[in-house]
């Protein structure tokens, strides 16, 4: 039963992360690769606050504020550099953030991480936490479905398809991109907090490059502006690693094989979907 609940929690975590990336990457075409940085900052804000004696509920608020603050920084950089530079900057910030977390022993406890993260009393057990996961997925999926039906959802799709026409209609494309990055950062703050509550331990390796590969895979598979496409892509990414259990691979290489297969699959999918995959053509 515990394994089954863990798989459900993993699926829900990927689904929430997919919601964050679907709008900013799949629909708007913004290569926001600073996702892991937002998650790392949010989970460490949660863990550090709890270690200082702050109740889990208040620590949750601190973590969300930290995630939004990081999103605002990325949103500011988004309009200051080119799209390609923004993608590279997001990936470089991941390496810089990991180095900072590993070396700042007095605050982050270095490579040893921070253990003993407490969950709120309302969902202190794994089954109750899974219920929260499911409810969060249902709420965020519903909100995205509603968003896609509105004129703002159409503006986001127009941002990727024809930014010049969008500007001619009197809409600021830069402002739309910034709001999407901040909204995605909020979602990833929630994802990181729920992940930290589930494993009750954080270290600098949490939400690293392997995790980024998984989430980008969801973003590439869910290019269509439909919630059903996002759900299908999430299901594939969540189930695909479980399929590896049927292969007689040595446990010593299982983790590496998972990352390798994800990487190969992602390259194949990008090659197949390259005509549909485009990024913003901002000149500044």
What pTM was computed for the model?
A: 0.86
266 in Cβ contact with 221 (< 8 Å) = no
Q: What is the 3 state secondary structure string of 182-194?
A: HHHHHHHHHHHHH
Determine if residue 162 is left, alpha or beta; phi over 0 gives left, psi from -120 to 50 gives alpha, anything else beta: beta
Sign of CA dihedral 263, 238, 19, 199: negative
**Cα–Cα distance, 234 to 15 (Å, whole number):** 6
**Cα–Cα distance, 63 to 43 (Å, whole number):** 7
**Cα–Cα distance, 76 to 83 (Å, whole number):** 13
Burial readout 167-193 (b: 16 or more C-beta within 10 A, e: otherwise): eeeeeebbebbbbbbbbbbbbbbbbbb
Give the pLDDT score at 103.
92
- Tens digits of per-residue pLDDT, 117-126? 999 988 888 8
Under DSSP, is residue 213 helix (H, G, I), strand (E, B) or coil? helix
Q: What are the DSSP calls for 217-283, one per residue?
A: HHHHHT-SS-HHHHHHHHHHHHHHHHHGGGS---HHHHHHHHHHHHHHHHHHHHHHHGGG-------
**Cα–Cα distance, 101 to 17 (Å, whole number):** 22
Q: Token pair of 183, please? A: 């909204």
**Residuewise pLDDT in 10s, the chain (284 residues):** 677 888 888 899 999 999 999 889 888 888 899 989 999 999 999 999 999 999 999 999 999 999 999 999 999 999 999 888 999 999 999 999 999 999 999 999 999 999 989 999 888 888 999 999 999 999 999 999 999 888 888 888 777 776 676 666 677 778 888 999 999 999 999 999 999 999 999 999 898 888 888 888 888 888 877 888 888 888 888 887 777 666 666 666 666 776 677 677 767 776 776 565 544 444 44
**Cα–Cα distance, 20 to 42 (Å, whole number):** 15
**Proportion of the chain in helix, strand, coil states, percent, rounded to 5:** 80, 0, 20
Q: Where are the beta strands (DSSP E) in the chain?
A: 114-115, 201-202
């Amino acid at each position: 039963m515990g394994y089954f609940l863990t798989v459900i929690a993993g699926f829900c975590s990927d689904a929430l992360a997919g919601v964050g990336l679907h709008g900013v990457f799949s629909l708007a075409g913004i290569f926001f690769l600073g996702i892991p940085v937002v998650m790392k900052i949010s989970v460490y804000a949660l863990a550090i606050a709890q270690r200082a004696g702050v109740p889990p509920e208040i620590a949750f608020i601190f973590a969300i504020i930290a995630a939004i603050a990081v999103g605002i920084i990325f949103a500011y950089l988004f309009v200051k550099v080119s799209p390609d530079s923004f993608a590279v900057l997001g990936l470089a910030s991941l390496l810089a953030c990991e180095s900072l977390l590993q070396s700042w022993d007095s605050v982050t406890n270095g490579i040893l991480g921070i253990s003993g993260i407490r969950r709120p009393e309302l969902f202190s057990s794994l089954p109750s936490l899974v219920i929260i996961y499911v409810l969060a997925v249902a709420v965020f999926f519903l909100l995205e479905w509603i968003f896609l039906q509105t004129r703002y959802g159409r503006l986001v799709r127009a941002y990727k398809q024809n930014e010049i026409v969008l500007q001619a209609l009197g809409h600021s494309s830069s402002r739309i991109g910034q709001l999407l990055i901040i909204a995605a950062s909020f979602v990833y703050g929630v994802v990181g907090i729920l992940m930290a509550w589930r494993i009750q331990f954080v270290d600098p390796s949490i939400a690293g490059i392997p995790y980024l590969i998984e989430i980008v895979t969801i973003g590439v598979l869910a290019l269509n502006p439909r919630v059903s496409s996002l759900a299908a892509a999430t299901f594939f990414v969540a189930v695909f690693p479980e399929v590896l259990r049927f292969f007689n691979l040595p446990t010593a290489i299982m983790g590496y094989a998972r990352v390798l297969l994800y990487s190969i699959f992602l390259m194949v999918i990008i090659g197949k979907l390259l005509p549909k995959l485009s990024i913003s053509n901002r000149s500044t």
